[in-house]
Structure 1
Amino acid sequence: MSYPRLAGKRILVTEADAFMGPMLCQVLARHGAEVIADAGTLADDPQRPAAIVAAAGTIDVLVANLAIPAPSTPAVEVSEAEWRATFAALVDPLPRLVGAVLPQMLARRSGKILLMGSASALRGMRRASTYSAARGAQLAYIQAVGVEVAPYNVQVNAIAQNFVDNPTYFPPEVQADPRFQDRLRREVPLGRLVTAGEDAEFAAFLASDAADHFVGQVFPVCGGWVGR
């Protein structure tokens, strides 16, 4: 859709240089939003989430775009360091961001928070226990906060995605691998990756006033699963 459904909205996108960040910024701006793109990880400095929210000023929509290369470790071999690093990158920044931005949204009785999450939390995946646990914690947090703040006209939701084109999880060298192409044909009814643009357009809809009736929801975007 090409009309400016986000005209006048100020949208903060975190880790805008990774995962879905570049396409999100492009699509949100095309729909009329003033995009505040903050690049870089939020894992290292616990104070940084609050600082970027404060620097942004008025925020109509927070897009929590958080990513880390997924560890592929058998559960019995997962180290304390891997567990802590994964949760530090994916889980810990989320309540810091939400805690920093919610006061202004509650005071205005208006605002949206959208998590760019992962469908790895929605089904069992081999050698992904750490990553799936962290992504699952994200979704549980969003669902709880979403129903808590809904009476204040603040909408908090998540996209849980997999098999979506992005440079963090599906770089060109992965997509060119015949084994990966065979996996797409075998596991994804769509037969291809969801494009970054398709995913970002859905995010733009959820950031718009047309999505005011969704609260605490997790929306899978994964081209369709086959079995488990």
Structure 2
Amino acid sequence: MSFQNKVTIITGATTGIGKATRELLTGQGAIVYNLDVQKPGDDDRAGEFIYCDVRKKSDIVQAYQTVMNREGKIDMLFANAGIHLFASMEQTSDEQLEDLIAINIKGTFFTVREVLPYMKAQRKGSIVLMGSDQTFVGKGSSSVYGMTKGATGQLTKSTAIDYAPYNIRVNCVCPGTIDTPLLHKAVTHFASVNAVEEAGVYESLDTIQPLGRIGKPEEIARVVAFLLSDENSFMTGSLVSSDGGYVCQ
């Protein structure tokens, strides 16, 4: 796969899967912009950082304008930014509900919608949305998070249909349990709520995967890179599992 001089935007690329994808693509010649509320450390120089809160459409619009002013094009977008919540419906506060919808649904919607005019003008573009194994299946104590990822799957498919005439491909990567800061936060919360040891939670997460372990961010990054690449020229509207076999059970 060649990404030489491909102008790429990744939201939420300071940590986790976003960071792994940013590092992979910059290492292969892409010009990558990280749109995040958290700035990378001083020793992390892969790509360019632009402060952007995806809950605010104005931040997204301004970030895209900055990229266009500098580069004159946007070839690829990975709408990765998102948050997680471990809670049943009754345990979910109104504020938590609004926050998940604002980031996971509205943030993804605005991130994709605002790049489409640029890609339409180019008559070409590749977009990947961040889904989840919960795009396909339900999990306990995950009603609102699962709802947002189900919505992401449908957004992927409808947008792919609408923009295929413009040679814009839209796909969705659907990771399972991945070793990221988001997972660590969820495990800490789960262990606290259930009064169990975190080590035991991680062990159980390994054992329920058919491959016998949780995934690494770098493994998902390679899937995202393929979905973004020109090697993936006849694939759009697809929800792609990368979950150690979890949802095939």
Question: How much does 1:168 deviate?
Answer: 1.8
2:126 maps to a residue whose letter is K
Q: 1:129: which partner in 2?
A: 143
Separation in 2, partners of 1:33, 1:7: 5
User: Any runs of at least 4 consecutive aligned residues in structure 1 with deviations exceeding 4 A, and if so which?
Assistant: none
2:104 maps to a residue whose letter is L
Question: How much does 1:145 deviate?
Answer: 0.1
Of residues 119, 124, 130, the one that matches 1:105 is: 119
Q: 1:94: which partner in 2?
A: 108
Are residues 1:27 and 2:24 paired? yes
Q: 8 Å contact 1:158–1:219 — kept in the other structure?
A: yes
Are residues 1:66 and 2:85 paired? no
Secondary structure of 1:11 counterpart: strand
Q: 2:242: which partner in 1?
A: 221
Q: 8 Å contact 1:19–1:65 — kept in the other structure?
A: no
Q: TM-score by structure 1 length?
A: 0.89
Of residues 4, 7, 19, the one that matches 2:4 is: 7
Question: How much does 1:45 deviate?
Answer: 2.2
Separation in 2, partners of 1:227, 1:158: 17
Change beyond 3 A, Cα 1:225–1:44:
closer
Change beyond 3 A, Cα 1:15–1:24:
same
Are residues 1:189 and 2:210 paired? yes
Are residues 1:178 and 2:193 paired? no
Q: 2:58: which partner in 1?
A: 47
Change beyond 3 A, Cα 1:150–1:44:
closer
Separation in 1, partners of 2:200, 2:55: 35
Q: TM-score by structure 2 length?
A: 0.82
2:12 maps to a residue whose letter is E
Secondary structure of 1:204 counterpart: helix
Identity %: 26
2:61 maps to a residue whose letter is A
Q: 1:56: which partner in 2?
A: 67
Instruction: Summarize deviations over 1:37-66 as a string: whole Å, max 9, x none.
Output: 122163442311111111111110011111
Q: 2:167: which partner in 1?
A: 153
1:83 maps to a residue whose letter is L
Q: 1:201: which partner in 2?
A: 222
Question: How much does 1:161 deviate?
Answer: 1.0
Unaligned runs of 5+ in 2: 38-51, 189-196
Secondary structure of 2:174 counterpart: strand
RMSD: 2.2
Separation in 2, partners of 1:60, 1:185: 37
Q: 8 Å contact 2:17–2:218 — kept in the other structure?
A: no
2:115 maps to a residue whose letter is V
Separation in 1, partners of 2:248, 2:115: 39
Instruction: Summarize deviations over 1:48-98 as a string: whole Å, max 9, x none.
Output: 111111111111001111121x22222233332221111001111122122
Separation in 2, partners of 1:131, 1:8: 35
Secondary structure of 2:183 counterpart: coil
